[in-house]
Structures are given as structure tokens and as C-alpha cells.
Amino acid sequence: MAGNRMTKIAAKDIEPNRRRGGDLRTLLSPATAGASSGFMGVLTMEPGEVVTEHYHPYSEEFLYLASGEITARVDGEPVRLSAGEALHLQKNVRHRLENHGPAPAFMVFQLGPLAPRPELGHVDTEPLPGQEKV
């Protein structure tokens, strides 16, 4: 089906975003699907990988761990997640994801509502991979 009723997108067709770490692919968003209330995607983290700490001033985040194990640092406190568990993060809550396990971790995430402009959606609170300063 096509048109304004729906959008179908395969993760393999989306370029990975590795800016904060891991292999993040935003699947359904304003840019890819004309979404108006949020966006969703998938994140794969290999053993030893992290997603650097950040927060979302306008959006709540919903994270579902489909496979593997991760530690989410929520406002600095460790929260262990195993496959089949979900985590809800309120607006303005700092979070960092770490894969200390022996296997890749695969997650599905959703954020909403949208920030007024895309560049306002994330606030980095630690240096990004390959950078010395935020």
C-alpha cells in the first residue's frame, strides 16, 4: 500500500546514525514517514559499545530491549535491562546506554511528542565519541 495512509520502511534501508554511539536507525519520523507526533527506530549495540549520555527536553522516551542485556544509567544510577524488558524515561531525564554483555543488544525506541525543531530534541551531557568537548 502507498499514499498518505501508511509508510513501510525496512531498517536495512536506513543509514545508521553513530553520532552518540551504537547503530541507531530512525525508521518512522517526520522526515521518513511524515510523522507528526513522534518518531521510532531501532538501536543495535555491540559488546562494549555505549550511547553517550543525553536527555530530551520535549519528549518522553520508550525503550524496549528485544535481545541482549544493557545497563541504562538514568540520572547516573544504573538500571539493568534484559531481553523482554522495557524502560520509560520522562522528559529531561539524563540517560546513557551501555552494553557490558557478551552479545549484541537490540532495542526498539519511540520518542514523543516531537521537539519544535529537530536540533532541540537531544541535549548532550558528555562528549560524543571522537570529540573532546560537548
What are the residue boundaries of the structural domains of the chain, listed by start? 18-113
User: Whole-angstrom Cα distance, residue 54 to residue 67?
Assistant: 23
Cβ atoms of residues 9 and 28 within 8 Å: yes
Per-residue confidence (pLDDT) for residue 123, from 0 to 100: 96
Burial of 64 (0-12, 13-18, 19+ CB in 10 A): middle
**Taking residues 86-94, what's their average pLDDT?**
98
CA distances from 50 to 1, 65, 70, 100, 104 (A): 37, 15, 9, 9, 12
Per-residue confidence (pLDDT) for residue 3, from 0 to 100: 54
By three-state DSSP, how is residue 61 classified?
A: strand
Q: pTM for this one? A: 0.91
What would the CATH number be for the domain defined by 18-113? 2.60.120.10
Using a pLDDT cut of 70, give the percent of the chain over it: 95
Q: How many CB atoms lie within 10 A of CB 27?
A: 20
pLDDT in tens, 8-59: 999 999 999 999 999 999 999 999 999 999 999 999 999 999 999 999 999 9
| Mean of pLDDT over the chain | 94
